[in-house]
Amino acid sequence: MNDPYTIKVDFLSKRHIALVLSSLLLIISITSLATQGLKKGIDFTGGTLVEMSFPKPADLGELRGLLLEANFHGATVQHFGSSKEVLIRLLPDTALNTAALSNRVLGLVNTSFSQTGELRRAEFVGPQVGEELSEDGGLALIYALICILIYVTFRFEYRFAIGSVAALGHDVIITLGVFSVFQFEFDLTVLAAILAVIGYSLNDTIVVFDRVRENFRKLRKGTPIEVVNISLNQTLSRTIMTSVTTLLVLLALFFLGGEIIHDFAMALIIGVLVGTYSSIYIASPITLALGISKADLMVVKVDQSELDKIP
Amino acid sequence: MNHFPAWKNILLIVVFLLGSVYALPNLYGEDPAVQVSPLRNAVINDILLADIKEKLNGGNVELASSELSEKQLLLRFSDTGNQLKAADIIRDALAKNYVVALNLAPATPEWLRALNAFPMYLGLDLRGGVHFLLDVDMAAAEKQSISRQALDIRQYLRENKLRYLSVLVSDETIRIKFRNLDVQSQALEKLSRQFRTWEFSTELENTITPTLIANMSAKELAAVKKYALQQNIITLKNRVNELGVAEPVIQQQGDRRIVVELPGVQDTARAKEILGATATLEYHLVDVEHSLSAAISGRVPLGSKLYNKRDGGQVLLKKQVIVTGNEIIDASSGIENDTGSAMVSVSLDGPGGKKMSKTTRNNTGKPMAVVFIENRSDIKRVNGELVRHKTIVEEVINVATIRGHFSNRFQTTGLDNSAEARDLALLLRAGALAAPIDIVEERTVGPSLGQDNITKGFQSVLIGFVLVLIFMAIYYKTFGLFADIALATNLILIIAILSLLQATLTLPGIAGIVLTVGMAVDANVLIFERIKEELKNGNSAQASIQAGYEKAFSTIADANITTLIAAIILFGFGTGPIKGFAITLSIGILTSMFTAIIGTRALVNLTYGNRQINTLKI
């Protein structure tokens, strides 16, 4: 009963179910990303955003009418956090796209609206900056994946590297997919969260791989599937513990961090959940499918006598 | 057997103490303060301080303390009421040679400041303010430089009696046409020697008119761009000084962008007006020989042009330019002694002074006007392409009568009030920019949102931290408490390092700290789970501790290095707030490895190290 090498939860017997589940999620995510895409924030689209707070709940209809009258066509107006706070967005092609725009909106609201408000936040992102940020963001994701691929190949073995990067791709696509399906706003902080998800999910995967490698070297018997299953079981309580502590703080951020950090925390929560799942059901099965075996992981011993022969 | 050598324990204590000391300044609040910094060649010294003290005494304003340094004078006050009153008094007393700005100065005690311990530097999203990203129009800079060069070439050819047909600028090259091959080859030799940064070659296809082609060398092109950027940064610095901002940041970003951060500035309209426009100036004589009303009805005389006045109405000016903004060295506002009315003093450079002298000698008693030429530009998307749309606004900002003969120093008087004088002086000084700049990004955070962000960020760190503490203590009992102590130390160390580096703390940065708190315990979880396993395998308590720490180490290192890779890439590509997140995450990873591995081990060793134990509370 106390043998640490027993398999309490047979994770891998369910790997085919997991495969179906993951494929399904990936298909939904990719379809959604391809058809409706992400609801990109002004960081990526360019445009103007003005957040104001009023002493009394603000009437959005009145505000919309006001903006339309002043020729701000295509302005979206919504409550932000509470009914006293209002977020006004102007897309880059709907109006003259200059940094002065936010001041014009502010001036208009404070002269014509039924109550005067206070500026909370104003953002203007030029279209070319938006394009650059999109490009840089995509590049950052790719660079991160490549660097990790190299590091894991160097520290472990290429099959582990492929397994872990596949798991990361899986996590990133599904997290992006959730943002696309539900049309949550995707801005720079969410992108940062996705990169942090890569870090986190990888962390999880590496811990499992480390144990797999150790067990391959230590255990004399057992098929690769059994060895991986044992390793997953041994690291299970750690996987759960770390996910729980991370989720605890993320929930604190989600509920207490304020509107601006809300989407960031959500991306991380989704990422941590998907990342924990993928390090068990994606990374390891793929490594197995690529045919990892005991022989691949034995420490290469340098034969001293061979070296001695070299003059 | 589980015993740390003394040096390791000492190291831990030293790190902990240093961390505590450098994290300490963050516990003190801020004092309302007034910051006085000199402009141009004004000085800050004891005499100035004594003078200000006297004036403040006279105005019944209580000064809490003052600090004098080479760069600035910082005056602290007990409350904002005193601060605002003092700022008004000081502004009136010092006028134009100093920047007087309101500031919140950290209330760090003297002994901590002596140790170079300061609180964390808060980003704009936490303290409120404006962030601008400006883009320098390099194509325009290049064009300006090429046309200037064409002028120089023309002049040189004339001076050296090398007769040319034309010197024309087309795209990025200058084409010089000659009457015959002889002059062409002579010119090629001389020009190549004179203009070393340019590459001259003969055009081969064109045999009828011998032509030289001049191209700017790649090195010179890079220099032109660098110069355009540098000159813009300097001009922006001067302009920002006018705004009276306590700690402005003006930095180059990449090879054509400039970041301007103005903490505490709320009036973004004014800031944008001053930063965003590129302006030049021209002094013209007013055309008094011809009738203005005739000109307005359409009969504008040759050699004159009708201009709009900024405050309404029109004026007819001679087209000939006396001096341009490029020739203005300085302009400052002040009060005229005899009349008490507002005025602006202007200084011109040598050539400008000569031209002004020539004009004023013959035109005493006639009016002279200042035309302000503003290049506003914005970028619009037309059919998917980004198109720069330019408008040039020419306005007469001032008309004054020439009272006598003057050259490179003169005053413009008769202005309505000191605010108008200040604006005129500012506009005059904003005179020359190397290349137009556009605001391509703006982020303004109001003070209430900044304060909200701090409160909410702090709350989420605190709650997340407490939740993790409780969870660890319940699950791992005594060992959980060790992990909790390590986690608290980790938090102190992160704050200490952020304070020491004076890295900018942003809202995503706080999120990074929160995330680190959650992930930092991972190392301890790995170690404790290993110890549990070893115990299950039937190993002794001491051996299990030893093996647990040893075996978990490589896993912890691998896992953290990969996360660090992600954080570093994030830092490399990210802008402001994202960089903040990457910084806190990276620092958190490093400090957590230290506290979670070495820190908890020391606690474990101290508790269990030197005795026989049978059970571990884990």
pLDDT above 80: residue B452: yes
* Residue pLDDT, tens place only, B529-539: 999 989 988 88
Using alpha carbons, select from B130, B110, B34, B112 the residue that is nearest to residue B77.
B34
Q: Do B562 and A152 touch (CB under 8 A)?
A: yes
Q: Range with the lowest mean pLDDT among A28-42, A288-302, B215-229, B303-317?
A: A288-302
Q: Does B269 touch chain A (CB under 8 A)?
A: yes
Q: For B381, which of A92, A123, A238 is closest by C-beta distance?
A: A92
pLDDT above 80: residue A2: no
CA of A77 to nearest chain B CA: how many angstroms apart? 19
Q: What is the mean pLDDT of residues B190-210?
A: 82
Nearest chain B Cα to A258, which residue?
B456
* Residue pLDDT, tens place only, B129-143: 888 898 888 887 788
Q: What is the dihedral of CA B195, B196, B199, B204, to 10 degrees?
A: 60
CA of B321 to nearest chain A CA: how many angstroms apart? 32
Across A81-217, the runs of DSSP E, i.e. the strands, are: 82-90, 118-125, 185-186
Q: Do A4 and B536 touch (CB under 8 A)?
A: yes
Q: Which residues contact B217 (CB under 8 A, 6 or more apart)?
A: B197, B198, B199
Residues of B in contact with A236 (CB under 8 A): none
> Does B139-222 match B6-25+447-608 at the fold level?
no
Pair of tokens at residue B130: 């404006």
Dihedral sign for Cα atoms in the order B272, B275, B277, B283: positive
Using alpha carbons, select from A221, A217, A211, A209 the residue that is nearest to residue A284.
A209
How does B333-368 read in b/e, with b if 16+ C-beta sit within 10 Å?
bbeeeeeeebbbbbebeeebbebbeebbeebeeebb
Nearest chain B Cα to A256, which residue?
B460
Residues of B in contact with A206 (CB under 8 A): 555, 558-559, 562
Dihedral sign for Cα atoms in the order A8, A12, A16, A22: positive
Which residue's entry shows tokens 């409706």?
A: A36
Query: Rounded to an integer, what distance in angstroms lies between the CA atom of residue B552 and that of residue B480?
Result: 17
Q: Please report the number of interchain residue pairs, chain A to chain B, with beta-carbon separation below 8 angstroms.
A: 247
Nearest chain B Cα to A107, which residue?
B269
* Residue pLDDT, tens place only, B284-293: 999 988 888 8
Q: Do A102 and B575 touch (CB under 8 A)?
A: no
Interface of B with A in 434-453 (CB under 8 A): 438-446, 448-449, 452-453
Q: For B574, which of A125, A192, A265 is closest by C-beta distance?
A: A192
Q: Range with the lowest mean pLDDT among A283-287, B431-435, B577-581?
A: B431-435
Q: At the topology level of CATH, where does B29-107 sit?
A: Alpha-Beta Plaits (3.30.70)
Q: Please, where are the H alpha helices in B502-594? A: 507-536, 541-573, 576-593
Residues of B in contact with A123 (CB under 8 A): 442-444
DSSP letters of B428-483? HHTT--SS-EEEEEEEEE-HHHHHHHHHHHHHHHHHHHHHHHHHHHHHHHHHHHHH
Pair of tokens at residue A45: 């689209």
CA of A310 to nearest chain B CA: how many angstroms apart? 33
Using alpha carbons, select from B135, B132, B131 the residue that is nearest to residue B435.
B135
Q: What superfamily would CATH give domain B6-25+447-608? A: Multidrug efflux transporter AcrB transmembrane domain (1.20.1640.10)
Name the burial class of residue A23, with classes exposed (0-12), middle (13-18) and buried (19+) by CB atoms within 10 angstroms of its CB: exposed
Beta bridge partners of B395: B308, B372
Give the pLDDT band (50/70/90) at residue B274: low
Using alpha carbons, select from B98, B40, B92, B38 the residue that is nearest to residue B347.
B40
Pair of tokens at residue B448: 């209430």
Q: What is the mean pLDDT of residues B433-461?
A: 82
Q: Does B268 touch chain A (CB under 8 A)?
A: yes
Residue A37, Cβ neighbours under 10 Å: how many? 12
* Residue pLDDT, tens place only, A23-35: 999 999 999 999 9
Q: Which residues contact A134 (CB under 8 A, 6 or more apart)?
A: A40, A44
Interface of A with B in 86-145 (CB under 8 A): 92-93, 96-100, 102-103, 107, 118-129, 133, 136-137, 139-140, 143-144
Domain range list for chain A: 12-39+129-297, 47-125
* DSSP-based three-state secondary structure for B299: coil
Q: What is the mean pLDDT of residues B464-477?
A: 93
Q: Does A237 touch chain B (CB under 8 A)?
A: yes
Q: At the topology level of CATH, where does B139-222 sit?
A: Ribosomal Protein S8; Chain: A, domain 1 (3.30.1370)
Instruction: Enter the ipTM.
Output: 0.85
Q: Does B554 touch chain A (CB under 8 A)?
A: yes
Q: Side chain identity at B162, as an amino acid letter?
A: L
User: Can you state the angle between helices B447-501 and A259-278, rounded to 10 degrees?
Assistant: 50
Using alpha carbons, select from A141, A143, A162 the residue that is nearest to residue A153.
A162
* B173-178 β-sheet, strand order: B164-170, B173-178, B211-216, B198-202
Q: What is the mean pLDDT of residues B584-613?
A: 88
Interface of A with B in 134-193 (CB under 8 A): 136-137, 139-140, 143-144, 147-148, 151-152, 155, 188-189, 191-192
* Residue pLDDT, tens place only, A72-122: 777 889 888 888 889 998 876 544 556 677 778 888 888 888 888 888 888
Which residue's entry shows tokens 């990361």?
A: A168
* Residue pLDDT, tens place only, B21-75: 999 999 888 888 888 887 655 778 888 888 888 888 888 888 888 888 877 888 8
Residue B217, Cβ neighbours under 10 Å: how many? 13
Residues of A in contact with B582 (CB under 8 A): 192
In this predicted structure, what is the pLDDT of residue B488? 94
Q: At the topology level of CATH, where does A12-39+129-297 sit?
A: Multidrug efflux transporter AcrB transmembrane fold (1.20.1640)
Give the pLDDT band (50/70/90) at residue A217: confident
CATH class of residue range A47-125 = alpha beta
Domain B226-444 belongs in CATH node 3.30.1360.200: yes
